[in-house]
Amino acid sequence: MTSDDDVAPPQESAAQEAPSPAAAPAWSRYAMDEEIGAGAVLLADATLNDVDAFRKTWHRISVQSSPALPTDVTESTLELPGPAGAISATVFAPAEAGEALPGILLIHSGAFVGGSTASVRGQAIDLCREVGALVVAVEYRLAPEHPYPAAVDDCDAAWQWLSAPGSGQWLSAPGSGLNVDPARLAIHGTSAGGALAIAVALRARDRGGIAPRLLFLNSPELDDRRSSASMAKFVDTPGFTARDAEISWRLYLGDITPGSDEVPADAAPARAENLRGLPPTYLALMEFDPLRDEGLAFAGKLLADEVPVELHLFPGTFHGSSALAHAEVSRRELDEEVAVLRRALSGGGRS
């Protein structure tokens, strides 16, 4: 187990004096993609040293990057039944839908403590248009106010709602006629949302419920023990650092000590001993990401348990770098996301 004292604190000098304008950023020593590296400074304020500031930074980024709603997509905010009261969800659907649609449960990132449906609004619109799917973005409860298992419970409730027989009838828009095909559903999670996506899939498997056709994971945060080589190496990368991971797990687990034997597998999926029966899984990993190696290890465990896996490690990237959509490598990442989901939900073969 690692205590707070074992994790290197932020540089005191950085807090005491402003850096020289000519000083190179700490991450400049990594061989980042040229376009990615040039934009990394835009995400420099997204640190968990101050959770309130972290939330405000991502809210600002979300508002600034949120697109206008195109005419071929509808957007509705619904209240779903949850274990601790109503759960807010935003539903994006094709404006012209003549038959049962594939569905995607979209679980946002934010290190378990930040993010919102607003932070994935642009992504949800794109997936709705490009995949032709109904996309449900869930507003799960955040730590530290609501530690584990609140977020898992909320996302699981949203999944049960989406995958329930006759689920197309829940849309409140009169005469919408929208319906969802329970045989063509996917769960999509990024970063902390990746851990939540796996937890939902594990719960669905264990209770014999409807399984997603695809589990899509982008840079998932999976292991509270934080013992991988990439976690030890990438202590100062933009987007997410080893220090951020320590804070994230401590706040998320609440009264459970990170690294202890009490941490359950649906909180930290790297601890799951049996992955058999999970759906085909796609993992997108970033080269300069503390979470990289736990993603690689999870892919190996899936393969060992005979779960079909597709893995893509994007070179020169860091955690959350796809937000820099101008970069060619980000465009490839986003194009592949659409292609993988479209293929899995089209009614054809496995992903």
**Catalytic status, residue 289:** yes
In the numeric block, the tokens 């980000």 are attached to 330
Q: Which one, of 265, 341, 307, lies nearest residue 103 by Cα? A: 341
Q: Which residues of 309-344 are buried (b: 16+ CB within 10 A; e: fewer)?
A: bbbeebebbbbbbbbbeebebbeebbeebeebbbbb
**Catalytic status, residue 191:** yes
Q: Which of 191, 219, 228, 248 is catalytic?
A: 191
CA quadruple 265, 270, 271, 275: dihedral, nearest 10 = 80
In the numeric block, the tokens 């930290």 are attached to 268
**Catalytic status, residue 188:** no
H-helix segments, 89-228: 121-131, 150-163, 192-207
Q: Which of 153, 156, 244, 289 is catalytic?
A: 289
Q: Which one, of 264, 215, 275, 289, lies nearest residue 27 by Cα? A: 289
Q: CB–CB of 277/70 below 8 Å?
A: no
Q: Which of 62, 244, 319, 351 is catalytic?
A: 319
Which residues are designated catalytic?
191, 289, 319
